[in-house]
Copies of this chain bind each other. A is one copy, B any other.
């Protein structure tokens, strides 16, 4: 995959949602007044290309360097933070406090492997509305609940087939 500067403004305006492409995110970036530098394109491509498995900032930086060798870890953090503010990526914290990044625009959950710490996307079921109903009842005079977050844990394919069932928690 190569990162080019082509394509500005000649794509349909599918900025958000499941069908959004790399170019759409570049457009979104520029529409908000940010420059789509080679570094930012590379970070964007790296995090979008990670697929179902979520990636740490360091991994994103490594993948981005394959597309633009000058990408620096500080720039990676800066860009990921920018993308987070624009709603393009999510930052997920798992059990031991490390952060990973997810560019999946569809509503979904996250599952953390108890053995190796890998964080994968899981399809969304029908929990959300139950949780939303519940969270209204949780509000009392000491705390007003406005949202929630669910995290599942278990074992990834690699760890399961290797018979590893330890726990990092």
* Interface set of A (CB-CB < 8 Å, partner B): 52, 93-99, 109, 111, 113-114, 120, 122-123, 125-127, 130-131, 134-135, 137-139, 141-157, 160
Contacts and interface: CB of A to CB of B under 8 A. Distances in A.
Contacts of A122: 138, 143, 145
A148 B111 CA distance: 8
B155 A143 contact: yes
A138 B120 contact: no
Given A93-B95, A131-B127, A148 B153 contact: yes
A135 B152 contact: yes
Given A93-B95, A95-B93, A137-B125, A142 B155 contact: no
A147 B127 CA distance: 14
Contact of A152 (B99, B127, B145): B145
Contacts of A52: 142
Given A130-B130, A134-B127, A139 B154 contact: yes
12 contacts: A97-B99, A111-B145, A113-B143, A122-B143, A125-B134, A125-B138, A126-B134, A127-B134, A138-B152, A139-B154, A147-B152, A150-B150
Nearest to A112: B149
A157 to B, nearest CB: 5
